[in-house]
Amino acid sequence: MEKKRYLNDLINQGLFRFDRLIIKDIDNELVASFFSPTMLREEICLFANVIKNGADYCDVLQLRLLTALQNRLPLPVARFADGEYAFYSYTLGCNGLYKQAESVGTIREVMPQHISAMKYVAATGLLAPLVHPGNSQPSVGGLFSFLQTRRDSSGSDFLNFLNSAGIPFNSSNYIPFYVIYAYLTSPEFAAAIDGKKICILNSEYNEKSCYDWFAKSLSWPRIHYVPIPAEYVATRWEETKTEILNKIPPDVDLCLAGAGVGALLICADVARIFSVPAIDAGHVLNMMNGRADKSNGARLYTLRRNK
């Protein structure tokens, strides 16, 4: 039970609970039919007890974004799931769809940078870890390790990591992982950035596809693209960031980043330096580019019934 202690504390103190994330017009059944119905278990995720439902979380993100846009405020938003959990557990399991780290030693070397970035996000933006009952279970078997049944505790382990690193985690700086996907694919987000100058930081960019993506929602942002490496941003950001940041227009309104584990570092620095929202968009950028296949297909909370 040791691995669940911090998560249990948050729940036992009445600060958080597990609940079903229901968002209007989202069609997760279609995604599950492509892969496995077991994916739908992830619809149950961690909720702050001050939030009633999924619609409230979308409203929170919308309000935070509009406030940041109107007042030129930093708003870094970083997501954390399997790849990040492996990285912050100092394992090369982070090298899944994309190469994130060269070695465990390299992860250890850059960990202070990541912790510093997380502290900044926690103080000024939103942390969006994927935490659900299925990834918050400790191994069982006690002292008889050879009899242990392996369970997934990566979600609760990540919360332990935050706690050990002195990174605040509360209702003001937490938002469920999938709310980011749902919001970035929503008409509300498209309307919020209509006419705004946005910057996409990604290793790939299809200009026509991206403009068509927004036009379908009657939104016409001015898009600027800044290329970033396709690999090892999580460990080499310090080597490349000056060159990359210098290419971002100083009057940019919002940035969307796709860089795997390295998106945390990008979003923290971009939000701080340009005083704008900087969102770890991940798979949604692949969708905008017409390359959902780069993420091995559709993801939960990205497909809508009315499209």
pLDDT along the chain (307 residues), means of 10: 74 96 91 84 96 96 98 98 96 90 96 98 98 80 44 92 96 98 96 98 96 96 97 96 97 97 98 98 94 80 77
Residue with tokens 């941003």: 233
What does the pLDDT read at residue 138? 63
Domain ranges of the chain: 2-295
- Say what angle helices 233-245 and 104-124 make with each other, to 10 degrees: 60
Query: What pLDDT, on a 0 to 100 scale, did the predictor assign at position 297?
Result: 72
Residue 1 burial class via C-beta count within 10 angstroms: exposed 0-12, middle 13-18, buried 19 and up: exposed
pLDDT of residue 211: 97
- pLDDT value of position 39: 87
Residue type, 256: L
pLDDT at 4: 55
- pLDDT at 144 (0 to 100): 40
